[in-house]
C-alpha cells in the first residue's frame, strides 16, 4: 500500500492486492531483518538524501513526517514469519524510510518468565531504539515541503517519534514491559519511550480461561511429537488456571501485590494492570499534556475468538474519557473556566482516539478482511496525529507570544506614567506601535470635535 488513497472495485480479488517484497523477490519472509536474539528483529532502510524545499511558512504542501521508528510487538501463537511479514511489508510500503523493530512474543513471556527477566531480554531492543532515535532524522527521513522544526532529535517534542503496533494481549504485555524497561534504564529514569501513536490490534482484552488458553495453545509447535504436544498443552492449561486463581480467585491486594509480585517475582500477566498501563501517557513519553497526548487507533473484530470485542470497546470508552478529562483540566489551568466544549470535542473525537471495527476477521487477521481499509486507518491516524501536534505546537507558540506582548503593554503603561517616555519591554519603541499617552491624547481631541 502506498501513502495515497486508491480506489479499488468491490469485486476485486485478493490476487489483485500488492504482493509483499519477499513474495516478489522469492526470499524467505523477514530475511531482510537482522536477528538480534531473544526474538528481536531489526530492519534498517538505506539512508536517503537530505530533504529539500523546507517551505512550510504558508501552510501549503505540508507533508507529515514518517515515524522515526516503527515497533511491532507480535501476538502469542501463530505469529509465523510469513504472517508477520504481511505487516512489515505493509509498513515498508507506507513508510519506506522508517526503520522497523519486531519483538516476538513467546509462551514463556506469558507464563513462567518474570517481568525482570523479560526486561533483561529486551536489552537489544532498547539499544536499537536509543540508537535510531538519536540519529539525525533530516539525513534518513525525507520530509518534502516540511518545516525544519519537525526534524527534531531524540527527546524533543517536535521529533516524529515512535509508531507502536501492539498485537493481542501477548504483544500488549510485552509492550508495557518494553516501555517500563526503557524508562527505568534511562540515565535519570525520566526519559520515556516517545510513542506518538499506539495501534492496538485485537487488544486489549480481559482475562478468560477459555480465550487465553485458546490463544496461547497456538504457540505449541505442531512439528513436535504428539506426546510432547500433549504434555505442553497440559502444562499450558495448568499455567492458565494458575493465572486465573491469581486474577479472579484472590483479592487483587493478595493475588497481584503479594503472590505474583513478591512471592513469584512478577511471573505471569496482570491483565487489569496491563489495560491501565496502556493508557498512562507518562509511560509512553507524552506526559499527558494537551497537544502532547499519545494517539490511539483500535483495530478489532466482532468475530475475534481470543479477545472479546466488548472488552476492547470498554477500553476505547476509557481512553476517550481520559482524553476529555485531560482537555477540561488543561482548559482550567489556562484560565478558561470549566473548559470549552469545542476543544474537548476536538481533542476527544478528532482522531486522537480512533476505532475501526471489523465484522468477520479472526484474531490478529484483520488485514485479511479488508486490507485497504486497514492500512488507510493506519496512515490517516499517523498523519492526523502529526498534523495535530504541529498545530498544537504552533498554537502554543502563538499564545506565548501573546502573553509576552500583553506583559510588555502592562509594563509600558507603568513606565509611561512615570517618565512620559513611550517604551516597549526592550526599551525601544517599535515602528507602528502607538504609545498609551499618544492614544489618550488622540481620543481626547476626537471627543472634542
Query: Can you give the pLDDT of all 449 residues of the chain as single tens digits?
Result: 444 444 444 444 344 344 555 554 567 899 999 999 999 999 999 887 654 443 444 344 567 899 999 999 999 878 899 999 999 999 999 999 999 999 999 888 888 889 999 999 999 999 999 999 998 655 344 444 444 444 444 555 568 899 999 999 999 999 999 999 999 988 767 789 999 999 999 999 988 877 777 777 777 777 778 888 788 778 878 877 877 777 777 777 777 777 777 777 778 788 889 999 999 988 998 654 555 789 999 999 999 989 999 999 999 999 999 888 887 877 777 665 554 555 545 544 456 899 999 999 999 999 999 999 999 999 999 999 888 877 776 665 555 555 544 454 454 544 444 444 444 334 333 333 444 455 545 555 544 44
Identify the three-state secondary structure at position 202.
coil
Joined grid coordinates for residue 397: 507558540
Residue ranges of alpha helices (H) inside 252-308 are: 252-254, 271-277
Placement of cell 481470543 in the chain: 306
Which runs of E-coded beta strand occur in 38-95?
A: 40-43, 69-73
pTM of the model: 0.75
Domains of the chain: 17-49+62-207+269-395 (3.40.50.1820), 401-448 (no CATH)
Distance CA 322, CA 293 (A): 10
The candidate with the shortest Cα–Cα distance to 247, out of 259, 236, 237, 238, is 259
Distance CA 66, CA 51 (A): 13
The candidate with the shortest Cα–Cα distance to 349, out of 392, 320, 380, 310, is 320
The candidate with the shortest Cα–Cα distance to 154, out of 174, 177, 128, 120, is 128
Distance CA 168, CA 413 (A): 62
Please provide the size of the chain in residues. 449
Distance CA 350, CA 295 (A): 10
Amino acid at each position: 500500500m502506498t501513502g495515497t488513497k486508491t480506489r479499488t472495485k468491490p469485486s476485486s480479488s485478493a490476487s489483485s492486492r500488492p504482493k509483499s517484497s519477499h513474495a516478489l523477490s522469492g526470499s524467505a519472509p523477514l530475511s531482510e531483518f537482522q536477528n538480534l536474539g531473544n526474538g528481536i528483529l531489526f530492519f534498517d532502510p538505506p539512508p536517503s538524501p537530505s530533504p529539500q524545499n523546507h517551505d512550510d511558512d504558508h501552510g501549503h504542501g505540508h507533508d507529515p513526517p514518517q515515524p522515526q521508528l516503527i515497533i511491532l510487538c507480535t501476538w502469542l501463537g501463530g505469529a509465523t514469519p510469513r504472517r508477520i511479514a504481511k505487516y512489515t511489508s505493509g509498513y515498508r510500503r507506507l513508510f519506506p524510510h522508517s526503520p522497523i523493530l519486531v519483538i516476538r512474543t513467546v509462551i514463556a513471556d506469558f507464563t513462567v518468565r518474570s517481568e525482570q527477566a523479560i526486561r533483561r531480554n529486551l536489552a537489544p531492543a532498547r539499544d536499537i531504539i536509543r540508537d535510531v532515535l538519536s540519529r539525525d532524522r533530516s539525513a534518513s527521513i525525507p520530509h518534502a515541503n516540511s518545516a525544519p522544526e519537525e526534524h527534531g532529535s531524540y527527546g524533543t517534542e517536535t521529533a516524529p517519534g515512535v509508531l507502536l503496533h501492539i498485537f493481542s494481549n501477548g504483544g500488549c504485555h510485552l509492550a508495557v514491559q518494553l516501555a517500563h524497561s526503557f524508562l527505568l534504564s534511562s540515565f535519570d529514569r525520566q526519559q520515556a519511550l516517545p510513542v506518538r501513536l499506539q495501534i492496538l490490534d485485537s487488544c486489549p482484552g480481559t482475562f478468560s480461561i477459555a480465550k487465553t488458553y485458546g490463544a496461547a495453545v497456538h504457540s505449541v509447535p505442531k512439528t513436535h511429537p504428539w506426546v510432547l504436544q500433549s504434555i505442553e498443552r497440559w502444562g499450558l492449561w495448568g499455567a492458565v488456571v494458575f493465572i486465573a486463581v491469581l486474577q479472579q480467585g484472590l483479592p487483587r491486594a493478595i493475588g497481584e501485590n503479594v503472590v505474583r509480585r513478591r512471592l513469584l517475582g512478577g511471573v505471569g500477566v496482570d491483565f487489569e494492570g496491563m489495560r491501565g498501563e496502556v493508557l498512562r501517557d507518562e509511560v509512553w513519553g507524552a506526559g499527558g499534556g494537551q497537544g502532547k497526548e499519545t494517539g490511539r487507533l483500535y483495530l478489532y473484530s466482532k468475530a475475534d475468538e481470543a479477545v472479546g470485542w466488548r472488552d476492547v470497546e470498554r477500553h476505547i470508552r476509557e481512553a476517550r474519557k481520559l482524553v476529555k478529562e485531560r482537555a477540561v483540566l488543561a482548559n482550567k489551568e489556562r484560565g478558561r473556566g470549566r473548559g470549552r466544549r469545542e476543544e474537548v470535542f476536538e481533542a476527544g473525537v478528532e482522531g486522537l482516539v480512533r476505532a475501526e471495527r471489523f465484522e468477520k476477521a479472526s484474531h490478529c487477521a484483520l488485514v485479511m478482511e479488508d486490507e485497504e481499509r486497514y492500512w488507510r486507518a493506519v496512515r490517516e491516524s499517523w498523519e492526523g496525529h502529526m498534523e495535530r501536534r504541529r498545530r498544537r505546537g504552533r498554537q502554543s507558540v502563538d499564545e506565548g507570544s501573546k502573553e509576552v506582548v500583553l506583559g510588555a503593554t502592562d509594563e509600558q503603561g507603568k513606565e509611561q506614567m512615570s517618565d512620559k517616555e513611550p517604551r516597549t519591554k526592550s526599551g525601544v519603541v517599535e515602528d507602528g506601535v502607538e504609545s498609551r499617552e499618544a492614544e489618550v491624547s488622540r481620543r481626547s481631541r476626537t471627543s472634542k470635535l
